[in-house]
Structure 1
Amino acid sequence: MEKRIINPWKWQDERSYVQAVEVKNVESTLYVSGQTAISADGISSNEDMKSQMVQALKNLETVIDEAGFECKGIVRLNIYTTSTEELWPHFPVFQEWIAKHGIRQATMLMEVKSLFETLKVELEATVVK
């Protein structure tokens, strides 16, 4: 697999994403459904934004690992939240996770009216190898 990062500017670097990712010679592509802070028993979290973000990242990593892919293969990561105001103070949690895995991904962040039950953040990914 070959990845080419397209960044016409530098300001996005501080925000832990890139403007575009071109991928060639892909062996396989994994489209991951939105991952949230739902326990292994299927119970939605009612904890704060930081706790939910940590659990959603763990769940995303679990699905990617179970599929035989690696987090560093994420090329697209969409973030949905019920409150960007609540999310921003905890954005470093996301950035540290991105850095830990060496991910260079295109990202979209969107505030939505609601998510399933008591959930506050949802992560949707496209992963390649």
Structure 2
Amino acid sequence: MKRTAVNPWSWSLKLGYNQAEVIEGLTRQVTCAGQTSVDDEGNPQHLGDMRGQINLALDNLEAVLKHAGMDLSNVTKLGVYATDVDEALKNFDLMGMRFGPHQVAPPMTLLGVTRLAIPGLLFEIEATASA
């Protein structure tokens, strides 16, 4: 798979994502459901702690990708939902810490929402991955 960044402007790079990517040579694609801060039984964790929730949601995303034979380097699109966008952005260094070592900056949308499916959850991340 070959990825080519498309950035008519550079401002999004400072935020850790490309405006678009051209993906060539695709052989497999995985669409991941939204991952949140839940344990193996689906119980919410880190209530009231946006940083803790982002960290566990990313752990859970990595676990799903691993079971599909992929990792964060394969992520080609992210959808992020937060009940407090400002608080999520304060903790987005976690995104850079996870995706940075893979040298990818997948296109991303961040949306503020009133609530998520399970009360107490503050952050959810969904991904499309390709190989």
Judge same fold: TM > 0.5, yes or no. Answer: yes
The one-letter code of the counterpart of 2:33 is S
Q: Can you give the 5+ residue segments of structure 1 that lack an aligned partner in the other structure?
A: none
Determine if contact 1:72/1:104 at 8 Å carries over to the other structure: no
Deviations along 1:21-58, one digit per CA (max 9) or x if unpaired, are 11122110000000000101210122400000000000
Distance 1:70 1:88 in 2: 23
The one-letter code of the counterpart of 1:81 is A
The one-letter code of the counterpart of 2:29 is T
2:75 maps to 1:83 = no
1:7 Cα deviation from its structure 2 partner: 0.6
Distance 1:53 1:80 in 2: 11
Q: TM-score, normalised by structure 1?
A: 0.95
Identity of aligned residues (%): 29
- Provide the residue aligned with 1:58 in structure 2: 59
Count of matched residue pairs:
129
For structure 1, which segment, 91-100 or 61-70, has the greater mean C-alpha deviation from structure 2 after superposition? 91-100
Q: Secondary structure at the match of 2:105?
A: coil
- Provide the residue aligned with 1:21 in structure 2: 21
Q: TM-score, normalised by structure 2?
A: 0.93
Deviations along 1:91-113, one digit per CA (max 9) or x if unpaired, are 11112212022222100000001
Q: Can you give the 5+ residue segments of structure 2 that lack an aligned partner in the other structure?
A: none
- Provide the residue aligned with 2:43 in structure 1: 43
2:13 maps to 1:5 = no
The one-letter code of the counterpart of 2:88 is L
Deviations along 1:61-107, one digit per CA (max 9) or x if unpaired, are 00001110121010101110000122122111112212022222100
Which one of the candidate residues 93, 101, 124 is aligned to 2:126? Answer: 124
Distance 1:28 1:59 in 2: 20
How large is the Cα RMSD of the aligned pairs?
1.1
Q: Secondary structure at the match of 1:51?
A: helix
Instruction: After the TM superposition, list the runs of 4 or more consecutive aligned residues in structure 1 that deviate by more than 4 angstroms.
Output: none
The one-letter code of the counterpart of 1:123 is I
Distance 2:8 2:57 in 1: 30
